[in-house]
Structure 1
């Protein structure tokens, strides 16, 4: 049930996010227990969002994902993503940005990767095992580590992403429609180098190549344009207003 406090929970989250992300040089987002606690509490009803039913008919004209904008400041943006049953937000990055995702209803699977730095040896080894590439693609291939594959529901705490850790991620709605509250800090800004890039997993790095370095699963990722079967629509946010 929605909380009957004078100050809405989403307003409290926004104020705490503003405090947290105004100066991250002094701390890590994982250390901010106040914001994590508030996000763990939030439910769809707090934002006056009713869980969607599965869409039986798949229309080519209906976006698989929609976005409800809540607020944006210089330090962070906040909104809600709603995913149809089986929808996917493709593997993408948030360069130089922190992210916090809290599922409001349904269940999502989040796969997180980290890029590995390119060295001359890595660049040479990449061409030995990946599928044939066009010449213009060779500067867009990255060796990466699969850090985690985790399932989240409304009873889970938030998923935390940082510029250094688990920044590349893919989000899949499983077992029906899903929605999650999304905080990005700072917001996307292509003019300041914070633009969204999409990636495709080409193949897993063979064990013989990676065994001497580390045991985590490694893959080669190819930076690609936004996939043709993914686009994001917009719809109004129905919940309590946020102000500063």
Structure 2
């Protein structure tokens, strides 16, 4: 069951007919009808839908695509501008207004995707597919309260994530240079961790973000080697996240989604790796893991305004 109404249905198509003006010619008794040309009347075109604008901007920004290819600064700003929040000076109190809002993609927190789930220990997450090609993909993750997208990476990708509504905790990391796996030389300092992780092939990462975010807020941008390439999302309330990946995941091309466990820096002693006491909380050891068995991502039909491919 779902809400079928789209933004296009809500707004409708407003047609304005031009009235006919009668003009009296002072040199004759003839009444002339002055009609505006059809082409001129058609100039009152509908505004471009936000989701269509997003697609066309992505098509331009990721025109030259491929793993590790980061769009130019100008193109990054161009796409950021489509997802940015602005201060609406025409509303009392200067409210924050998103350029892309939930109803622009046919979503609201009352939809079934966002209901609290009592039957599952870990709530299922719904994915709405909007568009994908070799160079980029656009989709929306719908998370009910307590929904979690575990810590995972984005190999060779530039990613724009926009929280459409709700409050979400985001934790993200970047690898610490040099880019090399660091074998653990001793057992875990914590005996309980020693039992849980027998052979921790761990790698050092720096904490980039560890905070709560509430919509409206600006889009986050991560890069192949910066910006928090490995991240984890935890929904504190019903949340919807718009995701743009450039390029998208592709196993044949080596862009596999890898999941991780994270451990405090103090849990392991690793040869040659030392940090000052005041920097340890800002670093962690990441260990590769299989896709969590309790992670359920269910595809569903996107019911918002359709993207017209050009």
Q: Give TM-score scaled by structure 2 length.
A: 0.68
Q: Hey, what does 1:35 align to over in structure 2?
A: 79
Following superposition of structure 1 onto structure 2, how do residues 142-161 of structure 1 map, counting pairs within 5 Å?
142-161=203-222
How many angstroms does 1:238 deviate by? 0.8
Q: Hey, what does 2:154 align to over in structure 1?
A: 94
Q: What whole-Å deviation, never above 9, does each CA across 1:17-52 have from its counterpart, x for those lacking one? A: 111112365744686222112112101010111223
* Rounded Cα–Cα distance in structure 2 between residues aligned with 1:42 and 1:29: 21
Q: Hey, what does 1:170 align to over in structure 2?
A: 232
What runs of 5+ residues in structure 2 fail to find an aligned partner? 1-5, 12-45, 85-98
Sort the Cα spacing of 1:119 and 1:197 in 2 relative to 1 into closer, same or farther, 3 A: closer
Q: What SS does structure 1 have at the residue aligned with 2:58?
A: helix
Q: If you compute each CA radius of gyration, which structure gives the higher value, 1 or 2?
A: 2
Q: Give TM-score scaled by structure 1 length.
A: 0.85
More strand by share: 1
* Rounded Cα–Cα distance in structure 1 between residues aligned with 2:234 and 2:70: 33
Contact 1:78 1:182 in 2 (8 A): yes
Higher relative contact order (CA 8 A, sep 6+): 1
How many residues align structurally? Answer: 239
Q: Does 1:123 align with 2:211?
A: no
Q: What SS does structure 2 have at the residue aligned with 1:199?
A: strand
Following superposition of structure 1 onto structure 2, how do residues 189-200 of structure 1 map, counting pairs within 5 Å?
189-200=250-261
Q: What SS does structure 1 have at the residue aligned with 2:54?
A: helix
Q: Hey, what does 2:102 align to over in structure 1?
A: 44
Q: Hey, what does 2:32 align to over in structure 1?
A: none
More helix by share: 1
What runs of 5+ residues in structure 1 fail to find an aligned partner? none
Q: Hey, what does 2:48 align to over in structure 1?
A: 7
* Rounded Cα–Cα distance in structure 1 between residues aligned with 2:73 and 2:297: 27
2:63 equivalent among 22, 25, 48: 22
Sort the Cα spacing of 1:222 and 1:52 in 2 relative to 1 into closer, same or farther, 3 A: farther
How many angstroms does 1:64 deviate by? 2.0
